[in-house]
Amino acid sequence: MKITPVTLIEGDGIGAEILDSTLEILDAVGAKFKWHRFKAGMSAFKKNGDPLPKDMLANIHETKLALKAPLETPIGEGFRSANVRLREEFKLYANVRPATSFIHHRRGTDKIDLVLIRENTEGLYVGVEHFIAIDDDPKAVAEASGIITRSACRRIAKFTFDYAIKTGRKKITIVHKANILKALTGLFLETAMDVGKEYGKELEIEERIVDNTAMQLVINPSQFNIILTTNMFGDILSDEIAGLIGGLGLAPGGNIGKDVAIFEAVHGTAPDIAGKGIANPTALYLASAMMLDHINEKNMADNLRNAIKKTLKNKDDRTSDLGGTASTKEYTLSVIDNLD
Ligand code: NAD
pLDDT digits (tens, 9 = 90+) for 95-125: 999 999 888 766 555 688 999 999 999 999 8
First to last CA, the chain: 17
Q: Is the pLDDT of residue 236 over 60?
A: yes
Name the pLDDT band for 324 (thresholds 50, 70, 90).
Answer: very high
| Closest listed residue to residue 284, CA positions, set 304, 259, 298 | 304
Ligand 1 centroid – CA 70 distance (Å): 8
- pLDDT at residue 95, rounded to an integer: 97
CB 250 within 8 A of CB 283: yes
Q: Is the pLDDT of residue 75 over 90?
A: no
Name the pLDDT band for 277 (thresholds 50, 70, 90).
Answer: very high
Instruction: Give pTM, 2 decimals.
Output: 0.93
Ligand 1 centroid – CA 82 distance (Å): 15
Mutate to test the pocket of ligand 1, among 92, 255, 267 (most ligand atoms within 8 A of CB): 267
Strands (E), the chain: 4-9, 33-38, 65-68, 94-100, 113-119, 123-134, 137-147, 171-176, 204-209, 226-229, 252-256, 261-265
Residue nearest to atom 16 of ligand 1 (CA): 249
Ligand 1 centroid – CA 263 distance (Å): 16
Mean of pLDDT values over 176-182:
96
Question: In this predicted structure, which of 94-98, 196-200, 332-336 has the lowest mean pLDDT?
Answer: 196-200
Name the pLDDT band for 76 (thresholds 50, 70, 90).
Answer: low
Q: What distance in Å separates the CA atoms of residue 230 and residue 260, rounded to the nearest whole number?
A: 21
Residue nearest to atom 6 of ligand 1 (CA): 270
Name the pLDDT band for 241 (thresholds 50, 70, 90).
Answer: very high
